[in-house]
């Protein structure tokens, strides 16, 4: 026997497990202290053949925070659950059972609530709680009372009032809650109790669905569907015909948004409401490979076999768009689609078919098969998880894996940063992979250091994972900003770039501190004549943004009109999208961008612009687009589409190089040669000043290339062996040729 007169007799928390057999637990704590004899917090308790003694308290055994209890052949004063699950069997409760905050309790065989203390309520249920009881017997020194509030559900196979008839039990049930007593029901209802052998590990599907993180729109759509099903059930109970409606559905959304999980739960909910007619719940998941046969006629046979298996339940077709084999020499996919559509029509009240896949691909699939839309009218839009929801999911998964965090706030900050920078937007799948990597690093550290603490993930574990392979790829003696500062000329642009980077860096620091920042974009305009360093500066900006952790990769992709515009209608959108997707995580530099629009009849160019605009908006955090070109032409180009200018708020103006700067650039390119620098400067300035070619650095590079050819010719013809010498005659000759 365990006896204690202060605090709890037993207190378990932090994902602990405890078994109590053949024992007596006694709390002598004064009633006014309200200390539960047994306190269970985020842990699991098994109790068998045990008695608990405590005077007049509503919570002699108290569970909270997703705890579990198995209570068999025991006697307790009272039980209170908050957000917890329980299974009780052949157990007597002296006073009251209270279920709160999405709690779930299953009573197998007999549970007897004696009501010996004269409490006003024998059973209280609130906040979407569920109690499924095989045999529930009540007694009370006054009247027995059952109270259900806030979408709570009570199911019993046998309800007995020991002190009188069942009708004398006072039922206080609000409109949102439900009580079903099988013994008094004329309908042959099926409860979850009849179908599950170990209910302690199962949450009622609707409660599990509501407990899923995120998915607000999906839950709202399911509520509408379930309401319609429930209304039909009432009509049938009153002898009316049910309103005909199709359960077939389309699930669209990115990977990792819970489509399969929700499909299974929705099926269970509909089965409980009797909308699915099978004797037991069926959920068959298939993909293209399961349905398609390479033998003529084999696909129809194979597909029908799966449909027959799912009859009375749910057939879930994952990545259904892969059945679309348009253009294939033999379209076995269409054979599968036709078989499914016919089956859906012939057995419309006997099966629920769910077509699932990515939004864009599913929309294209449905357009090519319009008959599917009418046969699967219910559309569920699975939104991407927000960063906060990703963090919540990550913490929940770690808890399920029985890990704890040294610093939850630090984990939250690092997950936020990593998810923002990743190109893998696979939602729940991404955070599972993130956690698994953390767990592996933690386990490796525990083994290597022989640590006793095997459950805590340290901040250093997170740092090791975050920094793995992300060391800055900086050149041997320069980082990107030093490269920028060493460029000749373009002082105004250098200042603009520094201001641009400063803002990016400060915004990033503010965000890490939890401050709200303006939702800005990094897309930019580079304006100026050729040869002014636009491409070079764009590459440097990409390197800086990568080094600062603003973009995920060092990718720099340079394109022009020919890389984006296709040869026929529809080709341009595909071609442009492929280029855009290839640049994700980095910088896409569109040179001479104004050439994308050649007038109102240039439909191909407009198609490319429209695709770019949509991508800039949809993936604004995942890519930096830089549009470059001559100032005048680019200004005119922006006026042709108002959407472009608003999405390119930052403009860099590249001024022409001065003659002295042209000389510096030229000499920099000849640094390996011996040369008369004064004479070179004199000739270059004179020729550049008189030239109509305003191509800046490009002009002097061309000058130097001609100089190398003239020098090479002289060396071969004269037999001179001084390969590093460029003579005054070489310079003079080039000057005469230009």
Q: Which phi and psi (to 5°) does residue 530 adopt? A: -65, 150
Task: Specify the pLDDT at position 272.
Answer: 84
Tokens 């629920």 belong to 352
State pLDDT tens for residues 472-494: 444 433 577 788 888 888 888 88
Task: Specify the pLDDT at position 125.
Answer: 92
Q: What is the mean pLDDT of the chain?
A: 84
Sequence-separated (6 or more) residues with CB below 8 Å from residue 273: 226, 229, 230, 233
pLDDT at 471 over 60: no
Q: Which phi and psi (to 5°) does residue 663 adopt? A: -65, -45
Same fold, 387-466 and 480-654: no
Please give the radius of gyration of the chain, using alpha carbons only, rounded to the nearest integer.
Answer: 36
382: confidence class by pLDDT, cuts 50, 70, 90? very high
Query: 387-466 domain in CATH 3.30.450?
Result: no
| Angle subtended by helix axes 534-547 and 491-512, to nearest 10 | 20
DSSP 65-85: SS-EEEEES-EEEEEEEES-E
Q: What is the mean pLDDT of residues 453-473?
A: 77
> H-helix or E-strand containing 104?
strand 104-113
Closest of 475, 472, 491, 495 to residue 483, by C-alpha: 475
How many other CB atoms are there within 10 angstroms of residue 379's CB atom?
A: 14
pLDDT at 249 over 90: yes
721: confidence class by pLDDT, cuts 50, 70, 90? confident
401: confidence class by pLDDT, cuts 50, 70, 90? confident
Task: Specify the pLDDT at position 260.
Answer: 93
Burial class (CB in 10 A: 0-12, 13-18, 19+), 46: middle
Task: Specify the pLDDT at position 187.
Answer: 37
Residues in the chain, overall count:
738
How much of the chain exceeds pLDDT 90, in percent?
A: 25
pLDDT at 70 over 50: yes
Closest of 421, 386, 445 to residue 214, by C-alpha: 386
Judging by DSSP bridges, how do beta strands 153-161 and 249-253 pair with one another? Answer: unpaired
- Contact predicate 156/149, CB 8 Å: no
Q: Which phi and psi (to 5°) does residue 719 adopt? A: 80, 10
pLDDT at 530 over 80: yes
Hey, what are 273's tokens? Answer: 């409401």
Q: Which phi and psi (to 5°) does residue 436 adopt? A: -60, -40
Task: Specify the pLDDT at position 118.
Answer: 61
Closest of 216, 197, 321 to residue 262, by C-alpha: 216
Which residues are bridge partners to 624 per DSSP?
Answer: 587
Instruction: Answer with the residue of higher pLDDT: 551 or 592.
Output: 592
> H-helix or E-strand containing 122?
none
Task: Specify the pLDDT at position 52.
Answer: 93
Q: What share of the chain is helix, strand, coil (3-state, %, to 5)?
A: 45, 20, 35
Specify the 3-state DSSP secondary structure of 42.
Answer: coil
State pLDDT tens for residues 170-188: 888 888 788 888 665 433 3
How many other CB atoms are there within 10 angstroms of residue 122's CB atom?
A: 25
Cα–Cα distances in angstroms (integers) from residue 307 to residues 284, 311, 335, 425, in the given order:
9, 6, 14, 33
CA distance 107 to 139: 17
DSSP 610-627: HHHHHHHHHTTTT-EEEE
Task: Specify the pLDDT at position 521.
Answer: 76
Q: What is the mean pLDDT of residues 532-546?
A: 88
Sequence-separated (6 or more) residues with CB below 8 Å from residue 31: 55, 56, 57
CA distance 733 to 712: 13
Helix spans in 487-529 (H): 491-512
- Give, as one character, the DSSP assignment of residue 274: T
Q: Which phi and psi (to 5°) does residue 310 adopt? A: -85, -5
Superfamily of 480-654 according to CATH: P-loop containing nucleotide triphosphate hydrolases (3.40.50.300)
pLDDT at 361 over 90: no
pLDDT at 234 over 50: yes
Which residues are bridge partners to 160 per DSSP?
Answer: 137
State pLDDT tens for residues 100-151: 988 889 888 888 888 776 666 889 998 888 898 888 998 876 678 899 988 8
State pLDDT tens for residues 293-339: 877 778 899 999 999 999 999 999 999 998 876 655 556 788 899 99
Tokens 């004179």 belong to 686
Hey, what are 666's tokens? Answer: 């030229």
Hey, what are 626's tokens? Answer: 């830089």
Query: 659-737 domain in CATH 1.10.8?
Result: yes
Task: Specify the pLDDT at position 1.
Answer: 56
Strand stretches in 336-441, DSSP E: 352-357, 378-382, 404-405
Task: Specify the pLDDT at position 32.
Answer: 63
Which residues are bridge partners to 24 per DSSP?
Answer: 51
343: confidence class by pLDDT, cuts 50, 70, 90? very high
Task: Specify the pLDDT at position 110.
Answer: 85
Instruction: Answer with the residue of higher pLDDT: 263 or 400.
Output: 263
Closest of 611, 529, 623 to residue 563, by C-alpha: 611
State pLDDT tens for residues 275-284: 888 888 999 9
Q: What is the mean pLDDT of residues 444-465?
A: 88
How many other CB atoms are there within 10 angstroms of residue 648's CB atom?
A: 19
196: confidence class by pLDDT, cuts 50, 70, 90? very low
Hey, what are 68's tokens? Answer: 């579990």
Closest of 594, 612, 627 to residue 526, by C-alpha: 627
730: confidence class by pLDDT, cuts 50, 70, 90? confident
Which residues are bridge partners to 699 per DSSP?
Answer: none
Superfamily of 205-382 according to CATH: P-loop containing nucleotide triphosphate hydrolases (3.40.50.300)
pTM equals 0.53
CA distance 502 to 493: 14
State pLDDT tens for residues 617-628: 878 778 899 999
pLDDT at 520 over 80: no
CA distance 264 to 357: 15
23: confidence class by pLDDT, cuts 50, 70, 90? very high
Q: Which phi and psi (to 5°) does residue 401 adopt? A: -80, 5
Tokens 């490009």 belong to 698
pLDDT at 49 over 90: yes
Q: What is the mean pLDDT of residues 452-461?
A: 90
Break the chain into its structural domains and give their ranges: 2-197, 205-382, 387-466, 480-654, 659-737
Instruction: Answer with the residue of higher pLDDT: 347 or 56.
Output: 347
pLDDT at 682 over 90: no
């Amino acid at each position: 026997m365990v006896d204690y007169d202060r605090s709890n007799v037993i207190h378990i928390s932090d994902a602990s497990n405890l078994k109590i057999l053949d024992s007596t637990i006694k709390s002598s704590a004064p009633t006014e202290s309200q200390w539960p004899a047994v306190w269970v917090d985020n842990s699991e308790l098994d109790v068998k053949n045990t008695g608990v003694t405590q005077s007049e308290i509503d919570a002699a055994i108290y569970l909270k925070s997703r705890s579990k209890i198995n209570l068999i052949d025991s006697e307790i004063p009272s039980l209170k659950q908050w957000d917890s699950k329980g299974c009780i069997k052949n157990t007597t409760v002296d006073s009251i059972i209270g279920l709160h905050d999405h709690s779930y309790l299953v009573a197998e065989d007999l549970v007897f609530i004696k009501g010996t203390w004269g409490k006003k309520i024998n059973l209280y249920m609130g906040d979407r709680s569920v109690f499924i009881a095989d045999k529930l017997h009540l007694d009370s020194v006054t009247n027995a009372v059952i109270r259900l509030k806030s979408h709570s559900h009570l199911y019993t196979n046998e309800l007995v009032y020991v002190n009188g008839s069942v009708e004398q039990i006072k039922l206080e049930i609000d409109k949102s809650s439900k009580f079903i007593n099988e013994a008094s029901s004329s309908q042959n209802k099926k409860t979850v109790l009849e179908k599950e052998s170990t209910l302690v590990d199962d949450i009622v599907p609707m409660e599990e669905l509501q407990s899923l993180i995120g998915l607000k729109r999906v839950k709202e759509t399911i509520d509408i569907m379930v309401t319609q099903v429930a209304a039909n059930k009432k009509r049938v109970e009153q002898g009316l015909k049910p309103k005909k409606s199709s359960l077939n559905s389309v699930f669209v959304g990115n990977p990792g948004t819970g489509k399969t999980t929700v499909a299974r739960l929705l099926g269970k909910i509909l089965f409980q409401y009797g909308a699915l007619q099978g004797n037991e719940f069926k959920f068959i998941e298939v993909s293209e490979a399961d349905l398609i046969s390479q033998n003529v006629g084999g696909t129809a046979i194979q597909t029908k076999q799966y449909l027959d298996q799912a009859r009375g339940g749910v057939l879930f077709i994952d990545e259904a768009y892969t059945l679309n084999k348009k253009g294939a020499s033999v379209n076995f996919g269409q054979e599968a689609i036709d078989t499914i559509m016919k089956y859906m029509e012939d057995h419309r009240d006997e099966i629920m078919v769910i077509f699932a896949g990515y939004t864009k691909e599913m929309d294209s699939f449905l357009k090519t098969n319009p008959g599917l839309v009418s046969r699967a009218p219910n559309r569920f839009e699975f939104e991407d998880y927000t960063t906060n929801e990703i963090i919540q999911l990550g913490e929940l998964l770690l808890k399920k894996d029985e890990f704890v965090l040294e610093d939850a706030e630090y984990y939250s900050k690092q997950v936020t940063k990593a998810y923002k920078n990743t190109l893998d937007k696979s939602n729940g799948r991404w955070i599972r992979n993130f956690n698994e990597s953390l767990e592996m690093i933690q386990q490796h550290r525990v083994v290597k250091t022989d640590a006793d603490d095997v459950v805590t993930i340290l901040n250093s574990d997170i740092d090791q994972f975050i920094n793995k392979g992300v060391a800055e790829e900086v050149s041997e003696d320069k980082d990107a900003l030093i490269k920028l500062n060493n460029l000749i000329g373009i002082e105004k642009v250098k200042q603009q770039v520094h201001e641009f980077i400063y803002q990016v860096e400060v915004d990033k620091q503010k965000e890490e501190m939890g401050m709200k920042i303006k939702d800005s974009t990094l897309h930019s305009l580079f304006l100026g004549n050729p040869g002014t360093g636009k491409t070079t500066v764009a590459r440097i900006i990409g390197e800086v943004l990568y080094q600062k952790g603003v973009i995920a990769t060092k990718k720099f992709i340079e394109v022009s009109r020919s890389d984006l515009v296709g040869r026929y209608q529809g080709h341009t959108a595909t071609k442009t999208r492929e280029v855009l997707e290839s640049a994700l995580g980095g910088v896409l530099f569109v040179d001479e961008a104004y050439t994308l629009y050649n007038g109102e009849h240039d439909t191909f160019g407009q198609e490319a612009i429209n695709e770019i605009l949509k991508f800039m908006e949809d993936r604004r955090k995942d890519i930096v687009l830089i549009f470059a070109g001559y100032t005048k032409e680019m200004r005119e180009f922006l006026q042709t589409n108002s959407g472009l200018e608003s999405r390119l708020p930052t403009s860099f103006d590249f001024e022409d190089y001065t003659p002295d700067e042209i000389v510096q650039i030229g000499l920099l390119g000849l640094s390996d040669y011996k040369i008369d620098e004064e004479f070179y400067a004199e000739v270059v300035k004179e020729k550049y000043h008189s030239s109509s070619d305003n191509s800046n650095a490009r002009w002097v590079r061309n000058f130097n290339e001609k100089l190398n050819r003239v020098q090479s010719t002289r060396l071969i013809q004269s037999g001179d062996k001084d390969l590093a010498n460029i003579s005054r005659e070489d310079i003079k000759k080039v000057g005469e040729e230009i």
